[in-house]
Amino acid sequence: LAPSPRLSASQCRLPPTRYAAQPAPSPREIAAPLLPAPSATRRPPAPSNRAPSRPHLAPRRSVAPTFLDASRRPFPRGIRVPRAPFAVRGIREAARGTTVRGARTMAAAAPPLCAWLVAAGAHADFGADEHRQTQCLDAGSGATFGLDRRPLGVRRRGSARSGMAVSVALQPERVIVEKKRPDVKQRRVVVTGMGVVTPLGHDPDVFYNNLLDGHSGISEIETFDCSKFPTRIAGEIKSFSTEGWVVPKLSKRMDKFMLYLITAGKKALENGGLTEEVRNDLDKTRCGVLIGSAMGGMKVFNDAIEALRVSYRKMNPFCVPFATTNMGSAILAMDLGWMGPNYSISTACATSNFCILNAANHIRRGEADVMLCGGSDAPLIPIGLGGFVACRALSQRNSDPTKASRPWDMDRDGFVMGEGAGVLVLEELEHAKQRGATIYAEFLGGSFTCDAYHMTEPHPEGTGITLCIEKALADSGVAREEINYVNAHATSTQSGDLKEYEAIVRCFGQNPQLRVNSTKSMTGHLIGAAGGIEAVACIQVRSSCLL
């Protein structure tokens, strides 16, 4: 609830639940202290043919009147009373549905029960954390609790004239029983499965051992002829098969990002011991898929454009759905029969991290028990390579591809594109224990921030990175001194690497035990899948106890 400029913050506090049983007074009882004394010479009211109004069903009880300013809101005709600094539409209109501004002003003048109901409604609609119920919501968001089709300022029949002050009875018509929400901090989230498709291997252990041995997955591009491009290298997947993971009929139609996604997702389930027999015993309404993609089905869409040059009849009828970023998660969920949260997030290089954190939050809030999450991308096609070349973002060290991606090196000249997918199985701790799952790590927290500075360049002072790290530490309840390894984003660009390094030093400069590296030096930059495979690398480091 956003406070009025003339309302102190203390007046926005939610009342105790004892107000829930308070009986509602009648309008006449509220206005009784303000009515003029009856006069013996006063003429009796004229007889009326109108039916008597329906009496209020709640028990009557006298309370102090509430004074409202009706200068900006239409009200039924009432009795002149002194002005007060609040204005509302009326409790009945606001209860049926009105704008957030109407809800805000209603709560400012409503009895404690009504204020609590509005706050609870705002809490449920905006998904605020449990401990933030007593904080204020921005009334300028434009969200609505319902529809009020009458424009503001339009008078209804019997409404007060502008400037007339009235007394209005604020009465809840029915009592709503509070439903306790589960404490999100009581539900712990653990990692019970991992799946990868990368230039360094398609198994978590093979992938991690190649990282330890310093092998590079970057080589010359073989998928298409790129001799006319200044950059001819990438972290390309040379050998990949969907046999046993994807139905052959769909495998021929799908974009590669979907094939990588589905394969990595099913490998994560297998790695986590979630076989078909085990999955049949799960509550599928509490299992979800949240695997994103930054680029989506670029190959399918590009092929459709080429076919359209001949005729629309030559186009793949699945080109539109298979090009969307959410279709990979949707197909995987349909294959598994999982009916829980299912969508995708596309936030460029941060796609996987966004998906992992949102999936964990679904479990923490009690909305799911098992979530597949991560990212997938397959941008290695002419239009993808050409687009990044046009941005002058790629390395042109074609003569030495294994050393082209060199984060923090003085001679770095841009990042190297890659492709693949990384998927985690997140599970509620008790749920994982009950089925005897292997727990690789525990997810403690994370954060979202934005530099709000430039499309590709980081903020000169690295404020967005620093803020994100600090908020992630606060959300997880971990001290800076407890962090001993950071898998940095460092993509081998001139400005990005430097600003990230400065932010890490600013946050962890007093921690001598900290180790920092960037696995992109061996995999290249997998765009939307980067965070997914790097999360697997972090978990493998933790599991192998190398730190």
Which residues does the annotation mark as catalytic?
349, 489, 525
106 to 114, 314, 453: CA distances (angstroms): 8, 60, 38
Report the sign of the C-alpha dihedral through residues 242, 245, 247, 251, in that order: negative
Tokens found for residue 458: 């980081």
Q: Half-sphere exposure of residue 441, counting CA atoms within 13 Å on the CB side?
A: 19
CA Rg value for the chain: 31
State the first-to-last Cα distance of the chain, in angstroms, to the nearest integer.
47
H or E stretch at 531: helix 530-544
CA–CA distance, 204 with 264 (Å, rounded to integer): 10
CA–CA distance, 305 with 320 (Å, rounded to integer): 11
- Three-state SS sequence of 103-156: HHHHHHHCCHHHHHHHHHHHHHHHCCCHHHCCCCCCHHHCCECCCCCCCCCCCC
- Three-state SS sequence of 463-500: HHHHHHHHHHHHHHCCCHHHCCEEECCCCCCHHHHHHH
Region for residue 83 given its phi and psi (left: phi exceeds 0; alpha: psi -120 to 50; beta: otherwise): beta
440 to 155, 282, 431, 516: CA distances (angstroms): 64, 21, 15, 21
Residues 6+ apart with CB under 8 A from 58: 23, 24, 171
CA–CA distance, 292 with 421 (Å, rounded to integer): 10
Q: Are 404 and 234 in contact (CB under 8 A)?
A: no
